[in-house]
């Protein structure tokens, strides 16, 4: 004891040793710029193979907010907005980045379908096909809709901000609504590895490639130093996507730096193996919290665990443990998030349990 540990987020570690070793070995190697190098092409090919989507178009961006803002801007016309859960990252935690780029976030209740709650955990953070369909029907049923912000795309995240997951049926139903109204479905996969490796999911990477128009595979939170891999699954990538990326300040001159990380992550199943570690450690964390009698704010099947803790206990905890404040539960208690990651160890969990 005595050494402060952190469970504040899943991006606090530097990068997987294999990535660091490969970067160190590149030394004075030269590569062409802006992601047009052979390393990025190799990484893209590996990702397409993993998605079982050979016709996909893949490129790399530097971080989650830049990716969300850039992709949404690519998808929308000037008079369109993006539909998202009211708790979605683009609606709540990106400082209005979407609105800053000229598009409104059109929010839906984030309660999801009231089904499969035992297997898939709480539905908080999700939208449902039923809510989406009703929203679109209401919009186009309004005689004044020509004077309104058009719903031009749908944004979801998997896992959600609350660590909850969509079922394959839920994704299929949302995808069907989007297809009916001819609007693209965009899936934020900042923590995608942890969603795919959850023991309470029936969604695969192939499913996501089939059911969405564009999604991204998060690297920043899953073993990379930085970077997200954007996958356009149905040929919808803009013809001139580079100028749009550059307008958002998201084009990295040394694009190979992103490519090499994903090239390594998608070699020998590394991305999936390290994501599974976070899930295994989250299960150990969950069991330990239950044994100590902590009350859970919701049932998360992924690496983010939310507990309700007395404020007096929290003052003691923060001396030794990093955590994420989530929200006040009442006058005397707070909801905090504890997140495991790709490199969390049994020792980390045991140490946390001692402080709790």
| pLDDT digit string, tens, across residues 212-221 | 999 999 999 9
What is the structure's pLDDT at 111?
65
- The number of domains in the chain is 2
Q: Look at residues 210, 234, 268 and tell me which one is the last residue of a structural domain.
A: 268
β-strand partners of 215:
187, 231
Enter the tokens of residue 131.
């809510």
Q: Is the pLDDT of residue 114 over 60?
A: no
Q: Let me know whether 292 and 249 are in one domain.
A: no
Quick check: helix, strand or coil at residue 142? coil
* Structural domain boundaries, residue 252: 17-268
Q: Let me know whether 140 and 178 are in one domain.
A: yes
Q: Look at residues 243, 268, 293 and tell me which one is the last residue of a structural domain.
A: 268
What is the structure's pLDDT at 236?
83
Question: Binning pLDDT at 50, 70 and 90, where does residue 4 land?
Answer: confident
Global pTM?
Answer: 0.95
The 3-state secondary structure of 274-323, one letter per residue: HHHHHHHHHHHHHHHHHHCCCEECCCCCCCEEEEEEEHHHHHHHCCCEEC
Q: Is the pLDDT of residue 264 over 60?
A: yes
Work out the burial of residue 253: count CB atoms within 10 Å of its CB; fewer than 13 is exposed, 13-18 middle, 19 or more buried. exposed
Q: Is the pLDDT of residue 112 over 70?
A: no
Q: Let me know whether 224 and 327 are in one domain.
A: no
Cis peptide before 111 (omega within 30 of 0): no
Q: Let me know whether 41 and 176 are in one domain.
A: yes
- What's the mean per-residue pLDDT of the chain? 95
What is the structure's pLDDT at 117?
47
Enter the tokens of residue 13.
């570690």
**pLDDT > 90 in the chain, percent:** 92
Q: Let me know whether 246 and 163 are in one domain.
A: yes
Q: Let me know whether 87 and 32 are in one domain.
A: yes
Q: Per-residue pLDDT tens for 221-248?
A: 999 999 999 999 998 888 899 999 999 9
Q: Let me know whether 195 and 298 are in one domain.
A: no
Q: Let me know whether 182 and 285 are in one domain.
A: no
CATH code of the domain covering residue 175 = 3.40.640.10
């Amino acid at each position: 004891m005595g050494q402060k540990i952190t469970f504040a987020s899943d991006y606090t570690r530097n990068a997987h040793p294999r990535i660091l070793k490969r970067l160190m070995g590149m030394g004075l190697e030269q590569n062409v710029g802006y992601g047009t190098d052979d390393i990025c092409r190799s990484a893209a090919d590996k990702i397409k193979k993993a998605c079982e989507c050979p016709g996909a178009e893949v490129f790399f961006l530097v971080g989650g907010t830049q990716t969300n803002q850039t992709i949404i801007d690519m998808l929308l016309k000037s008079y369109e907005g993006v539909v998202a859960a009211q708790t979605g990252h683009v609606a709540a935690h990106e400082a209005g980045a979407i609105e800053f780029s000229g598009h409104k976030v059109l929010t839906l209740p984030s309660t999801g379908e009231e089904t499969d709650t035992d297997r898939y955990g709480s539905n908080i953070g999700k939208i449902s096909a039923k809510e989406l369909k009703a929203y679109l029907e209401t919009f186009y049923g309004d005689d004044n809709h020509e004077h309104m912000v058009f719903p031009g795309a749908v944004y979801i995240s998997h896992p959600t901000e609350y660590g909850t997951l969509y079922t394959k049926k839920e994704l299929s139903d949302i995808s069907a609504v989007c297809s009916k109204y001819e609007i693209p479905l965009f899936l934020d996969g900042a923590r995608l590895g942890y969603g795919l490796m959850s023991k309470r999911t029936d969604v695969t990477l192939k499913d996501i490639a089939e059911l969405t128009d564009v999604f991204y595979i998060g690297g920043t939170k899953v073993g990379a130093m930085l970077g997200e891999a954007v996958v356009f699954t149905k040929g919808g990538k803009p013809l001139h996507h580079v100028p749009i990326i550059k307008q958002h300040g998201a084009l990295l001159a040394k694009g190979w730096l992103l490519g090499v990380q994903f090239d390594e992550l998608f070699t020998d199943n590394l991305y999936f193996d390290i994501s599974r570690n976070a899930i295994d450690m989250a299960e150990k964390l969950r069991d330990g919290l239950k044994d100590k009698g902590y009350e859970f704010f919701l049932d998360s099947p992924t690496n983010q665990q939310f507990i309700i803790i007395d404020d007096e206990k929290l003052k003691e905890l923060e001396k030794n443990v990093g955590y994420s404040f989530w929200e006040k539960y009442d006058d005397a208690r707070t909801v905090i998030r504890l997140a495991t990651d790709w490199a969390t160890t049994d020792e980390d969990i045991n140490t946390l349990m001692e402080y709790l």
